[in-house]
Chains A and B, each alone.
Chain A
Amino acid sequence: MTSGTDSASRYAKPGRWLALALLLLSAILLLLGMGVGSTGWDSLALLQRDPSAWQIVWEIRLPRSVGAWLAGALLGLAGALAQGLFRNPLADPYLLGSASGASLGVALAMAMWGVSPLATQWLALMGLSGAAFAGALLAVLLTLLLAQGVQQTLRLLLAGVVVGVVLGALSSLVLLLVPGIMQAMQSFMLGSTSFLAWPSCILMASVVFLCGLLAWLMSPLLDALALGEATAQSLGLPLPALRAGLVVVLALATGTAVAHTGLVAFVGLAAPHLVRSLVKTTPARLIGLASLCGAVLLQAADLLARSLMAPRELPVGVLTAVLGGVYLLWLMHGQSARRRGSGA
């Protein structure tokens, strides 16, 4: 029946348009990102002639914009995965304790080796990211251990909360014992895009690619889970293996993003919601769109953080928290208004 095929392609279309629009927006924001800074657009105009302008654009502004895009993509992907996997629209990438694990890792690294996030050397940067990543991964493993696997969603979420609280307390203890790292740690906790350099971008780009590929390979599970867990299993899917695989992808994406930009709030939660409010799509397609959306959100937030109070700079996490919070409130209000309007 051709009508069926027509009807199927009609679903894919709005998603494709949204993807195209988001990519276009990314390009525009990238261009703007190259122009915004203390020297303004002059640096971009003098790119060919002035080596210092080249350095400003190529070494500082561009990796920042690209890095923010990549970290946002990781958070958006993780958010869509978490919401699909736990079948909860309030699920967020930091659920499994990865955020507090990464914080503890960074706090320990700074306290023990005196590494600062302001360090630009490859090794120091990798060390800090590595500590954050290891912390995130260990925290997720701890959560999985406490929850005795990934099969019981409620256990998993509760274990994530417990791990989050305990590791958060440990981080506070480290801060109390080594007050010198307080300021550096604060910028990490708030989330910041100002330390992003090319090495981080290369690392994040590879993880975006890897996680995107893995999520796509396992995405039929998310579609089937939309019918309920038992129904998904009745469709012959290897539920335990796929779920374990997707939790690993979730941890990898979140850990990598947190390692490079700190605890950027709300992007992972808001990106899938924003996509869903614009187009209705299948959970599998949502992953790609939410990644793009998260990327654009963090890229835009980075741009605003740099330009709103120039020459001073806002931590990007503060901006995403405020904007994301307002957006979610607005979404909530719209939904309850619609529900009242439709009047049961």
Chain B
Amino acid sequence: MSQCIISPGEFALQAKSLIAQLGGAPVLHGLSFGLRPGSWVSVVGPNGAGKSSLLRVLAGLLPCTGAVQWLGQPLQSFSARTRAQHIAWLGQGEACDEDLRVYDLVMLGRMPHQAWLAGPAASDHAAVARALAVMQAWAWRDRLFGQLSAGERQRVLLARVLAVEAQLLLMDEPLSNLDPPHQAQWLLLVRALVSQGKTVVSVLHEISIALQADDMLILQQGRLTHQGACKEVTTHRALEQVFEHRVRVAMLEGQWLAVPRIQGLEP
């Protein structure tokens, strides 16, 4: 257990003893951690570790006890609208209306910035155009969501999250259904967002991609077992341990990769 002890001012978001329940069953047991501004943090852990629940708690979608501080203020003190302007959330497998046009769908990401019933302003159209261009989805802006392939849909949903232009992006399995070129492009995108000072938290089951992040939160059974830089050896060992040594972190062509170990282990 090595939790970074840094002074509170260095964190964009700080969570203290988060406890959350899902349908009566506890899913998070007192998580405490901090997220540096302008950093990319991967959340990894075995199935049912509470990764998605953690993102939901941070997005204000799942009630929790404990304290979340965002930019030095309690998250509860933000109005729902202000919170939505600051924090964008991409869910995993959220069913989306197939009759929506891609452009309209991405425009919904601008809702926190629009006055009620006012409709989109020029700045909203500009943000949507930027987000669609970044995800290379501008060409299908007039198509219906239901007409797209699974990978194309995911890119549109990512564009929806980008269109919020939030300071904190919470993405649950952002790479699902994306082919390797678009996965690589997503990595570039996250790097660009981070360099603008934004904080990105992603839940990823491709551990090799998760290892490209700055920091890593390793969860197991609703507890934080490790927080550290992705480059650090202690993080690699913690990763191997949490996955029961079924993966091995190794360096290949200058980057850390998680190599699955299928044989040679007792069941």
In contact, B81 and A228 (Cβ under 8 angstroms) = no
**CA A237 to CA B108, docked complex, whole Å:** 12
In contact, A236 and B81 (Cβ under 8 angstroms) = yes
**Surface stretch bound by B, among A6-14, A65-73, A161-169:** A6-14
Q: How far is the CB of A280 from chain B (nearest CB, A)?
A: 5
Tell me which of A10, A234, A281 has the highest count of chain B C-beta atoms within 10 A of its own C-beta: A234
Q: Does B103 contact A (CB under 8 A)?
A: yes
Within 8 A of A (CB), among B77-104: 79-85, 87-89, 91, 94-97, 99-101, 103-104
Collect the chain A residues with CB atoms within 8 Å of residue B100's CB: 226, 282
In contact, B94 and A228 (Cβ under 8 angstroms) = yes
Collect the chain A residues with CB atoms within 8 Å of residue B82's CB: 236
Within 8 A of B (CB), among A79-111: 87
A234 touches which of B79, B84, B126, B141 (Cβ 8 Å): B84
**CA A21 to CA B142, docked complex, whole Å:** 23
Within 8 A of A (CB), among B117-170: 117, 120, 122, 125-126, 128-129, 141-142, 144, 160
**CA A3 to CA B129, docked complex, whole Å:** 8
Number of A-B contacts (CB under 8 A): 93
Q: Does A231 contact B (CB under 8 A)?
A: yes
Q: Count the A residues whose beta carbon is within 8 Å of the partner chain — how many?
A: 31
**CA A3 to CA B89, docked complex, whole Å:** 27
Which residues of B are in contact with A by a Cβ distance under 8 Å?
56, 59-61, 79-85, 87-89, 91, 94-97, 99-101, 103-105, 107-109, 111-112, 116-117, 120, 122, 125-126, 128-129, 141-142, 144, 160
Which residues of A are in contact with B by a Cβ distance under 8 Å?
1, 3-5, 7-8, 10-11, 87, 216-217, 219-220, 223-224, 226-228, 230-231, 233-238, 276, 280-283
Extra pairs beyond A217-B117, A228-B95, A236-B81 (16, CB < 8 Å)? A4-B126, A5-B122, A7-B141, A11-B101, A87-B97, A216-B117, A220-B111, A220-B117, A223-B111, A228-B94, A231-B89, A233-B61, A234-B87, A236-B80, A237-B80, A280-B99
